[in-house]
Amino acid sequence: MARATALCAAGMLAALTLGPIVAVLVRAGGPGAVSAADLAALRFTIVQAALSATFSCALAVPVARALARRRFVGRGALVALLGAPFILPVIVAVMGLIALFGQAGLVNGALAALGLPRIDIYGLHGVVIAHVFFNLPLAVRILLQGWLDLPAERFRLAASLRLTPWATFTQLEWPLLRRLLPGAFAVIFVICLTSFAVALTLGGGPRATTVELAIYQAMRFDFDLSRAATLALIQLALALGAGWVALRLSRGAGFGTGLDRLPLRWDGQGRAARLSDAAWIALAGAFLLLPLGLVVLRGAPGLALLGADTWRAAGHSLAVALASTALCLAWALPLARPRGALLSLAAIAISPLVLGTGLFLILRPFVNPFAMALPVTALVNALMALPFALRILTPAAAATRADYARLAATLRMTPAAWLRLVMLPRLARPMGFATGLTAALAMGDLGVIALFADPQRATLPLQIYGLMGSYQMQAASGAALLLLILSFGLFVLFDRGGRIRAAA
């Protein structure tokens, strides 16, 4: 029964991933020609993704190294805060970055006071800054985990041999970076390839158009499905190529096992090293906290300016987030196996705009597609969040099967009893985290809904973008703060619920 359920869920995942793409290609009559503007968008996409991944990984190295070898009050909270960009709505982060780096932002105000030239947040600069804001914490977490996994005995041996700091770096830390950095670079590169909301808000014109934004323009304004499908296939090929290159470059042996002791560091104890580590940690913390603080400060007065349309859009976003969470969880539970996690990776390499358009084409003979804007958005958001949910649930589910499957078979437990008495209680904590993450991501998504929603069905991110487009910046700041509160509120609610159930 469990295997049949898993196969059914896998079949639905494959159909929802490939079916819409096939529908778009059939409706378009096959792949189309690529224009000069599309080639320019492709070049800009590759350049900004490469720059964003390079800066994110390069800056993550000293920050992760500093966090790995320093112990201080609040370190755990700061490391936990590095997960905030995963649940931060993109449009909220953009508002915070504009408040910090925009023409009237704090940074440009300080530069003007010093007589220095201003920073332009729009165009390539803004897109790269926004992507570094989102992906620097991801790179830090990847590298920090690798540093913490180094056996403590290796550092003890380096200290007994009186290795210099440079020798310690070349013999211990550089092999670690050589193994981890290609994978981190590839993940960030693929995330930046599919950038939509950042390019839509901070692109600043045709010269700063990404492939995902070109797909949106082809569908929304030209209804050129052939060109959109071609661009989606190119984007998918780039993502797969980046993954293949990372797989080739990430080879390398590890450092073996140790006694699971805390990796005490004897290197970097000089005053210069301590000051350098403190500076890197302070800069990273400020880069993450200042935009969020500015969103709160500038958004609080704007809450009083929110109209009925904004509150209705907030209700739509809540409904979409809850529906996406339920769908994602229903998918993830039967697919929480290693093969299911591998199958779900295809969902994040395909344009959500093409997926949404394909679903609308499939539904068009039966219902009004525009009336289905919110349900289709919920479905696509659940599909896009599935890989993250499976990465959270699969290890715990595999451990539960290994520990209790034989006992369940001996007791002849039914599938329903297995799920209720064994699986769900032991998945409570990871399930709470996965559902909170899915709800927060769906709450802040600005993707499919931007193609098909009318003002009566707009979600809160789309409403914020509309307010920004009409230069109602104070109201947009208030709506951004509302979105931030709702997103973090959903995450905390589901995550805390999982912890309570686990403790019961």
Burial of residue 287, with CB atoms counted within 10 A of its CB: 0-12 exposed, 13-18 middle, 19 or more buried? middle
Task: Specify the pLDDT at position 55.
Answer: 93
- Three-class SS of residue 458? coil
pLDDT band at 204 (very low <50, low <70, confident <90, very high): low
Among the ranges 99-108, 299-308, 348-357, 387-396, which has the highest mean pLDDT value? 299-308
The span from the CA of 382 to the CA of 347, in Å, is: 10
The mean pLDDT value for 205-229 works out to 78
Which residue type is seen at 358? G
Check residues 245 and 319 and name the one with the higher pLDDT.
Answer: 319
Question: What are the helix (H) ranges across 114-260?
Answer: 124-148, 152-160, 165-168, 174-193, 197-202, 211-220, 225-249
Task: Specify the pLDDT at position 256.
Answer: 45
The mean pLDDT value for 399-422 works out to 78
The mean pLDDT value for 304-320 works out to 89
Sequence-separated (6 or more) residues with CB below 8 Å from residue 51: 124, 128
Task: Specify the pLDDT at position 255.
Answer: 47
Burial of residue 146, with CB atoms counted within 10 A of its CB: 0-12 exposed, 13-18 middle, 19 or more buried? buried
Is the pLDDT score of 258 beyond 50?
no
- Three-class SS of residue 493? helix
Lowest pLDDT segment from 10-19, 31-40, 136-145, 393-402? 10-19
Residue of 130, 90, 200, 225 lying closest to 450 (CA atoms): 200
Residue of 428, 338, 340 lying closest to 9 (CA atoms): 340
Residue of 113, 88, 18 lying closest to 349 (CA atoms): 18
Among the ranges 41-45, 52-56, 406-410, which has the highest mean pLDDT value? 52-56
Residue 32 · residue 226 · CB < 8 Å: yes
Q: Return the residue matching tokens 């559902």.
A: 435
Lowest pLDDT segment from 254-263, 298-307, 467-476? 254-263
Check residues 454 and 474 and name the one with the higher pLDDT.
Answer: 474
The span from the CA of 387 to the CA of 165, in Å, is: 39
280's enclosing H/E stretch is helix 271-299
Q: Which CATH class is domain 32-299?
A: mainly alpha
Residue of 443, 442, 464 lying closest to 95 (CA atoms): 464
Task: Specify the pLDDT at position 260.
Answer: 44
Give Cα 296 distance to the centre of its chain. Answer: 22
Tokens encoding 441 = 């991501």
Residue 490 · residue 321 · CB < 8 Å: yes
The mean pLDDT value for 200-220 works out to 77
Task: Write down the CATH number for the domain with range 1-30+304-504.
Answer: 1.10.3720.10
pLDDT band at 109 (very low <50, low <70, confident <90, very high): confident
Check residues 351 and 319 and name the one with the higher pLDDT.
Answer: 319
Residue 226 · residue 31 · CB < 8 Å: yes
Tokens encoding 299 = 């958004």
Question: What are the helix (H) ranges across 411-445?
Answer: 415-417, 424-426, 428-443
Q: Where are the domains of the chain?
A: 1-30+304-504, 32-299
The span from the CA of 212 to the CA of 197, in Å, is: 9
Same fold, 1-30+304-504 and 32-299: yes
Is the pLDDT score of 322 beyond 90?
yes
Task: Specify the pLDDT at position 319.
Answer: 92
Task: Specify the pLDDT at position 373.
Answer: 79
Task: Specify the pLDDT at position 503.
Answer: 46
Residue of 137, 72, 470 lying closest to 274 (CA atoms): 72
The mean pLDDT value for 141-170 works out to 68
Instruction: Determine if the pTM surpasses 0.75.
Output: no
The mean pLDDT value for 486-495 works out to 84
Lowest pLDDT segment from 50-59, 134-143, 231-240, 446-455? 446-455
Angle at 50 between CA 129 and CA 387, to 5 degrees: 85
pLDDT band at 150 (very low <50, low <70, confident <90, very high): low
- Long-range Cβ contact pairs of 10-18 (< 8 A, separation 24 or more): 10/335, 10/340, 10/343, 12/331, 13/331, 13/335, 13/343, 13/344, 13/347, 13/383, 13/386, 14/343, 16/355, 16/359, 16/379, 16/383, 17/346, 17/347, 17/350, 17/355, 17/383
Check residues 294 and 164 and name the one with the higher pLDDT.
Answer: 294
Is the pLDDT score of 415 beyond 50?
yes
Tokens encoding 374 = 């919110």
User: Left if phi > 0, otherwise alpha if psi is -120 to 50, otherwise beta: which for 88?
Assistant: beta
Is the pLDDT score of 325 beyond 90?
yes
Give Cα 68 distance to the centre of its chain. Answer: 23
Q: What percent of the chain has pLDDT over 90?
A: 4
> In this structure, what DSSP letter does residue 133 have?
H
- Tens digits of residue pLDDT in 58-70: 998 898 888 877 7
Is the pLDDT score of 51 beyond 90?
yes
The mean pLDDT value for 189-211 works out to 77
The mean pLDDT value for 403-424 works out to 79
Is the pLDDT score of 257 beyond 50?
no
State the chain's mean pLDDT as an integer: 77
Lowest pLDDT segment from 61-75, 159-173, 297-311, 316-330? 159-173
Q: 382 — phi, psi (to 5°)?
A: -65, -40
Check residues 338 and 423 and name the one with the higher pLDDT.
Answer: 423
Task: Specify the pLDDT at position 315.
Answer: 92
Residue of 345, 493, 348, 504 lying closest to 433 (CA atoms): 493
Is the pLDDT score of 243 beyond 60?
yes
The span from the CA of 304 to the CA of 267, in Å, is: 54
Is the pLDDT score of 342 beyond 80?
no
Check residues 249 and 410 and name the one with the higher pLDDT.
Answer: 410
The C-alpha R_g of the chain, in whole angstroms, comes to 24
The span from the CA of 454 to the CA of 374, in Å, is: 11
Give per-residue burial for 162-201: e unless 16+ CB within 10 Å, then b.
ebeeeebbeebbeebbebbbbbbbbbbbbbbbbbbbbbbb
The span from the CA of 436 to the CA of 321, in Å, is: 10
Check residues 132 and 245 and name the one with the higher pLDDT.
Answer: 132
Q: What percent of the chain has pLDDT over 70?
A: 80
Lowest pLDDT segment from 324-338, 381-395, 488-502? 488-502
